[in-house]
Structure 1
Amino acid sequence: MESLSFRLFLLLSWSSAARVCIFYVSSNVCRLCDCVSDGMTISVNCKNRRLMNVPGIIHSNSTSLDLRTNCIKELRNNSFSGLHHLKKLDLSNNKIELIEIATFWPLSALEELRLEKTNLALLQRALRPGIFRGLIHLKSLNLQNNIQQSIVNATRLPDTTFSDLVGLENLHIDGAPSYVFGPGFGNLTNLKILIMSGRDGFCELGRLESQTFMYVSYLRNIDIIHCKLNYIDPGAFRPLKNLQTLNLSENTDLGFQNFQRLLEGLKDTSIRVLNITSIVFPYGVGSRLTKDNVQDLFTTRLEEVYMNTNAIELIDHGVLSNFPSTLRKLYLRQNRLVFTLFMCEIFNLFNLNVFDAGHQQPSGHDDYRWGRKTRHVDIRGKSFPSFENSESLSMVFVDTRKEENDTMYETSEYYKTNKTISRTISIWKKLKHRRCQGDSVEATRHFEIPSYPNSEKKYMLSEEHKSDIEGRNLNNPIHGRKETLKDNSNSFSLKRKRSVITPFANEYSMPPEDQMSTSVPTKAAPQPGLMTPEDQLTTTQSAPHKISLTTFICTRSRSNFVLLDFKEYENNITYMDISGNEIPNLQNSSFAGLSRLEFLNLSSNQIASVESGTFAPLQSLKYLDLSNNQLPNSSTRRLHSNLFETLFNLQVLNISKYSIAYLPPTLFQTLHHVKVLDLSTNSLNDFNVNLKNLTELQILDLSDNHLSFLELNIMNHVDNLARNHSILVDLSRNKLFCTCKTLTFLHWLKETKVVLVNKEQYLCILENDFVQPLNDTEFLERLEESCKSYLMVYIVTTIAVTFIIASIIFFLLYKYRWKLRYLYYMAQLKLPTKPIDNIEEVFINDGFISYAEEDVLFVKNCLVQELEVNRGRKLVINDRDFVPGEVVTTAILRAIRESRKTVSLISNASVKNNWWIFEMHMAQMESIHTKRDALILVLLENIPNKNLPMDVFNVLKSCPSIEYPNDKHAQTAFWIKLNEFIN
């Protein structure tokens, strides 16, 4: 009972969509097929059920029936009877041998019929006239992948069969060599799209004749892809007045000669999009695009042109000037371009939004591999990675590998066999110093193939960008680069044959210098979309310098790349990829005029020098890639500290693989909005920079450096960030140290909330150079214990060393205290301490008398009387001659310096007087530093040596001295001797 109730509950809980199928569709059908309904319509899915026939009972309300990949061989007149509401029928991938004439007649509401890969080899037999009678609402019919190679020449296109499909809009069909869309297609006035593809089916058209599309003049979009076309009649597309999109890609036998004939037939159409990707064999001899190849292009109103993968090695100057003024997007990806004079003609295409000459390579195929887990956020219309999921960096970083051709351009087969190109390159090198502003030329300097690494790290962008790289969506490209050019127009012809005067007179010879600038006659304004090259150049010269370019891509070129000068042009460029070239130096003016730029890729350019103001104009920049470049080999491989100071809006900065050995501490301090900072694969020994302003940082990649630990301020900052949002740090493939000195860092690795990428792979180096996995918790515990046992030793040793050093310093200060004081006071007086050459010009006084207060009577009554009065000496007596208010030490030092001798009177009182001792030592230092006998010691009293201070005793042993006698007769000799000493 409980089981029955449960089943009833499930039955009642089922969606209303399933109920319709259960009650109104045969139970036999539902056993075989999946039935889904929204309450009004029913979809029956019988895909891959090994059915031999169409199920007999299908409800009349069914709107979709999927019979793909079964074993159905026959379709009878009653196979679909009663299905008046059926709108979609898929019979693809069956082995149908018979379709009776009235099989589809009941399907009056059918809008889509798929019969691809159903073995309808001979369409004229399988699709007999009248088989589509009544399918007046059919809009899409797919008959691809039915023709077999063995009977391709016997297959015809039965136009009378298709004449009943008056509502048909979209036709997918195979292509045989003799196909002509005959008169029966004249009834298909609603037919807008025709797709013939050798990729999705069978197609070997070979030729397009003038009568091929005569009766399908209502077509707007035509895809003839991979159909082995080798000839196009000039009138083949002339009847298609409404044609807007034409895709002739992957017809490698066409070549540019047929492209020239094609353009002649497109002059009278409404063509907007033209795709001629791979109309030249991409792995063969290189091709050259000439002015004759595009001579009728300016008469069209093309907006998008795709010329990818055509092995183009050279575009003649003047070719881009032949493109119509309506052109918005131009793609030249995956060629072999040498960026010559044609580049400057971009400035003549003033409506051009996208120029994509990316991924130039010999192999001619795109080999980018994209990750699958990247999530993206839209920042003001631009897609950047979102790093909320912090599983690993692989969700953001994707390795891309490139196969390189070691053969230089100059050794290519095309170069050897084409002397014209050789001459062009030679002349181009002569023009390398000319500038490109209006009439000037600035060109590439060399035509060398840059070397590339075996792998590159790329940041994922959006799915839209991803599809661009894969070649599926060429509307929003992603790679680029540039240079500048000159146009000199003298005369133009409005006839079929036109000439453009270029810097190559007589096609490839240099014109005289006075002809390098010519005027263009004023002309009436042409109608939009019909501008001739002359009109474009005239408009460019007369109108303000304004271009519409937003995306500029030139990557992996074969030449030394010179940046185009945009500062004279008002532009809206937001995306620039010029990676994989050779740009050895970036100067302050390199990106002038690009104030709106948001994405800049400069990776793999062998950039060795970047001036400090290079990025100053790029204040809107959000993504900057400088990876895989090379700083000069020196011990100071560093970037300027103010290199990024104006990049206030930057969100992604990649400077990996740049051989950086040192980072200035203030390098990143203005990057407030940076989310990704990639410094991997450099030569950093330490990472001590200011990151406190990087509050939005989400990824910090420091892998593949020489780091041994992180500084405390870095650890604290990323920990603070981890409290607000997820942050990833990669320290893998560094030489991390496991020592007591790095114990704080090791604890941080163990306890931090920061996501450490590839943490299980971290290795650390012990003091004995032994390598230990860092995820071994027991090892870290043992290291911590060993560090604790040595802590007391470190403390005692530190105290002992500190005490010894302090003692030595104290001893030296005490020993040389008088010398230091002498030098200090002499420096205050700004007096020299070196030997005096001319004594007579310096000394003002004969002697300075140094005495204690107790000896003042002897000085006044005896010494002054004998030396000044009797012998005419000029003495300095401090109680008499010192100026009141003057600093005593200053007065003493000045008196010593300005006197021939300092007479120091030694008595029991003076040896206890500090000022007397000071004067004695200063006089002694004067003697030592000026190398003269400046001190005379006079012993007034007989003082035992034991009562003399050690300082006085030492001075007494080293300086001349005289003893004052008590005998009056001996005193006369004393004064005579003292007077002689003073001399």
Structure 2
Amino acid sequence: MELDCHNRNLSSIPTLETNITTLDLSQNKLTGQSLSTSVFTGQCELKNLDLRFNRINYTESSPFIDLTKLRILLLGFNALCSIGSSSFAGLHDLHILDLSYNHLQSLSSVVFSDLVKLQELYLNGNHFGAIPSSAFAPVHSLKVLDLKENPLTSIILGKAFENLTQLESLGIYSEALLHPQITQNLSNDTFEYLANAPLIDLFLLWDGITPTTAEKGILKPLKDLTYFATFFEVFDALPSLESDHLQFLKIMMFQNETHFTNTTFQSLSKWGSTLQTLDLRFAAIDHVDDYTYTWFPQLLHLDLGSVILPPLTLSEHAFAGLPNLQNLILIDDHLVQISSQVLSDFSNTRSLRSLDLSYNSLSGRFTLDTFEPVSSLTHLNLSHNPLINVGLWMHKLTNLTELNLSFITSQQYLQLAYWTDALPQLTTLHLSYPALKNIITARELQLKLKAPNLKILNLAETFVNDITVIRGLSKLKELDLTGCFLEMSNFYSQWNTVYFPMLETLTLSGNKITHITDGMFNLTTPFVAHLNLSDNSIQIIEENAFSNLHNLKYLNLGYNQLLLIDWLPDLRQINTLLIPKNQIAQVPKSFLDAIANSSLRTFDLSGNPFSCGCEVLPFRDWILADKVVFLVPTLGYKCNSPDSFAGYSITQVVLDCQSYLITYLSIGIAISFVIFVTCVVAIRFRWHIRYKLFLLCSWRRKYKPIGGDDVNANINEIEFDAFVSYAHDSDKDLKWVLEVLRPNLEECVEPFNLCIGHARDYIPGTPLLEAITNSIKNSCKTIVILSPQYVESEWCYFEMQNAWLRLMDEGQDVLIFILLEPIPDAKMTLWLRQFLCKKNYLKWPQDQAGQHLFWKMLREKLRMQTQVDRHHDM
């Protein structure tokens, strides 16, 4: 009932079962032509359809009309330039429509007329210059409307929103109003028609707004507004807001001339009893005065990150009057120190739970009492700071559950001698720091004594050289040892000494593990479900390495050096198996049989050097036939050998692998001597033989020289002796035509007049179809230069078809085929194969003797005119 076809390189929608309820066709190559009115015929059960990230540039008339139960339609991130008035006809039950990030400029007034139950409409990221006045009239049930990132020149919403009586969320963000001549952007009647709508969420970011163009009464109609995001220039209009429910306020400022002050926030004190989130990230703040936020006693979240007037300085009582504050963000504020005085006002409330000080310049040693006022902290982020050490101040954070110390740039910070019994509640710890390349020793990191309840541990690129440093963490659920350069000799001996009975996710990628032995994981991590062993040097996996891991669902062995996959994990539970970029040349049939009876849903063997002999056929057939397992990526399965198939997709391999050994031996013994003598003679006199055969064929087919008395009367109307049809987009073919064919035919003793198409003879401005047709008509012969590029060209196919039609109409053999280079069987069309089997052709030789006879035969063909025996049928 759920079909996942995303990222399958599809250019058309496949035939579908009629019971599908959810269909994902995102990240493909579907175009407007793919959405024909019949493609979804019979899909009356489909409820969710995802067509995002395709190449859809238009929609045919009513492509979704049969999807009467469709509730979600996602068309975002395509190339839609327009939407037909009946594009959404029949979608009476649609609830969510996503048209974001296309190229839409306007909408028909009736485009949404059938969407009577539509609740969410996303039009952001398009090219709307104005809001349609009547397009939203039918969608009475609309609750969410997103118009952000459109070059709107006006937001006088007016009657376009008159019928949106259920609208709860509105997003408008435009960068178009930056021109000084535009002065009237926001007026007091901008939101006039939303006065009766339950609008609680407004995202109003408008680059052109200034304090003089935003009237102070614009927000008055929005009596239920709860979440509001806007620019500082609308700040003067905030007092006009009569809503008593404002809980979330985000104010952005990109002008350095003005900045927030204590008085600025005092003007918002009317919402002191309701405001819970104040987001001032990217605002113009350089200093936080004492008692600045005392007007908001109910505030729970305060974001002062990434201020644009760094460094941020904090007064001793900057956070006074916030008895309920739980989350404080001071990220990327260029703070050089944080003192206990700044945090002292939290000592009585004990409300603060999360403190983010990442991406600052905190390099000094924290004092013993630095974090004493916030001992209630459960989450502390100090990443990306040049901390000198982690010392005794950790003793004060007895309630800490998550600590992030990753990417610390100091060479000395990991002096953990004072961690003993400091973090009894800690469950998540990040210590990754790839910039240092230091080695963590067991003496420095005895985590079992510091965090007995640890569940998530990230030691990525910490260069742990002794796994025993984490011994005893019996409650660990996630462990990341990425890029620690663990040597196989040490890892193997140490890994057997640890035991993680609750571990579910283990990441060991980017190390130096060379082989996986039986019991390596089922004795240490018996319940692991997610195992990542990618980017190691694994060459050998013993047969029962994963046999007892009954909870294993995800296994990643990519970017290793595996030669075989004769080892088989227990596929009864695994749903994702990734083995890309190894050295696997063959996929045994036993492996495919095991997949057929497994729970596997995602499989990746891409990037391996497959050997495409007869042994690859079972794998090829499985790729083409399987509809359950998703191969990632679909185009990454290519042949490495033999040379004739190198670079080809496995699905293109065509081989005849039946055994004819006995027949071949019997025939070979009987005629081997004859074949040997024939081959010697044929090789020695091959071009002379071909020339004699050519003369014989000319006599049998009654060829006669052009210019005789029996030539057709219209021969004088012929302008060229031959029209040359070749692959125009192939530099190699064009060079051969101009530098080899042309001189040998136009500069010989009896020259021929050639038509070489748009490379020389087409009249500029003439339509290509007309030029091709006239050139073939005005040429006595058509020389077809066959090559792999020629059979792939639609224009070449058109030229050859025109010449063939002339042969059928006029009864004259006007086609001369020259095989410039061999054409692979995969590219040879059935029509061309049958034609060449019935007609002689010239093959371009590489030796001088062969080339001499080649030109002789070609000139003879050009001088001859076939006379069809009209009396044959009489």
Task: Name which structure has the greater RCO, CA cutoff 8 Å, separation 6+.
Answer: 1
Query: Which structure: larger Rg?
Result: 1
Q: Which has the higher helix share?
A: 1
| Structure 1 and Structure 2 fold alike (TM over 0.5) | no
